[in-house]
Copies of this chain bind each other. A is one copy, B any other.
Amino acid sequence: MAAPWKRSLVGRIDELVIDSPALSGNPLGDPAERPLWVYLPPGYDDEPDRRYPSVYVIQGYTGHVQMWWNRSPFRSPYPEAVDELFASSAHPPCIVVFVDAWTSYGGSQYVDSAGTGRYHTYLCEDVVPFVDARYRTIADPAHRGIQGKSSGGFGAMITPMLRPDLFGALATHAGDTLYELCYLSDFGPAARYLRSWDGSIEAWWDDFRRRVPFTNKADATLLGLYGVAACFSPDDAGRPVLPFDPRTGRPLPEVWDRWLRWDPVRMVPQHAEALRGLRGIWVDAGRSDEYFLDLGAEAFVGELAAIGVTDVRFELFDATHAAIEYRYPLSLAFLAERLSS
């Protein structure tokens, strides 16, 4: 068994900082300067005229870019796996861009929101041009892809729908979709948890910030719903509005509809043209995903088929929602093929 410590890469990673106009003055006061990591494959410096496809990697909820170096036992962190992938000549080399979209609520869902900030614009208008300007990418949607897991998988589904002029391929691992299963299933538990804070999510949030986070079993569920509410259903002042009655868990139709408008399985028919133009689509999820994202994946693939998109790499595998980061390199190899031809 190989030594577990950090090893040197065959390619290299540039650790940059981008000062995002889109994030400037964001409602949470989060930094507009963001870390941005760019992986360059082996040989990048040796062939100064060669241009490369690029793949943007976005993270799950609560992720920030430095977590890519978190080390799990007996596994490689994704940056090392990327390097292993391209160290051999089995796959066409790509530039891989690690994007940070952390917020004070834990994430952004990669949308523009009065609750968190303009993260969709940041990704599309700030990050992509920044990378294209500094690296020898093939700056064309046919050669630009996006991948992610969980909330990052959601971002990887919706961003090419909204911006087919930018992204020509996507890979989603257990991406958020089919909200009646993945989100609504949490309304009951959340309402029960909120009994401890008199039904006030704001009271929970104040408490959460004042003590050691995640020491209450309610924290993960409530944070997820509160943060996604900030993304999908802020009020005029940018405050998150829950899509359910906090006392009973009963959906509030007018708020819940705002969420459903962001459900990829519902968005597919409205973005049929964009989706038909994609060069590669990878969809997978664990068969025991706690948020039923295997069923969401199935539904998403079904909607794609309904608009005539059947060239989809689809797989359900034996796993929950956790410890599935080993899937990233699999879809990266797929995207590298599709974006290189």
Q: Chain B contacts of A192 at CB under 8 A?
A: 287, 292, 294-295
Q: Does A114 contact B (CB under 8 A)?
A: no
Given contacts A214-B323, A215-B326, contact A302 B178 (CB under 8 A): no
Q: Chain B contacts of A298 at CB under 8 A?
A: 247-248
Within 8 A of B (CB), among A285-327: 287, 292, 294-296, 298-299, 302, 318-319, 323, 326
Q: Chain B contacts of A64 at CB under 8 A?
A: 4-5, 71, 73
Q: How many of chain A's residues have a CB under 8 angstroms from any CB in B? A: 58
Comparing A38-46, A179-187, A274-282, the segment that makes contact with chain B is: A179-187
Q: Does A200 contact B (CB under 8 A)?
A: no
Q: Which of B69, B215, B250 contacts A265 (CB 8 A)?
A: B250
Q: Chain B contacts of A250 at CB under 8 A?
A: 178, 180-181, 265, 295, 299
Q: Chain B contacts of A188 at CB under 8 A?
A: 181, 185, 292, 295
Q: Does A88 contact B (CB under 8 A)?
A: no
CB atoms of A318 and B74 under 8 A apart = no
Q: Chain B contacts of A247 at CB under 8 A?
A: 298, 302
CB atoms of A215 and B319 under 8 A apart = yes
Q: Chain B contacts of A1 at CB under 8 A?
A: 104, 209
Nearest CB on B from A321, distance (A): 13
Q: Chain B contacts of A181 at CB under 8 A?
A: 187-188, 249-250
Q: Does A245 contact B (CB under 8 A)?
A: yes
In the complex, A316 Cα to B182 Cα: how many Å?
A: 27
- Given known contacts A6-B66, A180-B250, what 5 new A-B pairs fall within 8 Å (CB)? A62-B73, A180-B249, A247-B298, A249-B295, A250-B265
Taking Cβ atoms with an 8 Å cutoff, the residues of A that contact B are 1, 3-6, 30-31, 35, 62-67, 69-75, 102, 104, 106, 178, 180-181, 184-185, 187-188, 191-192, 209, 212-216, 245, 247-251, 265, 287, 292, 294-296, 298-299, 302, 318-319, 323, 326
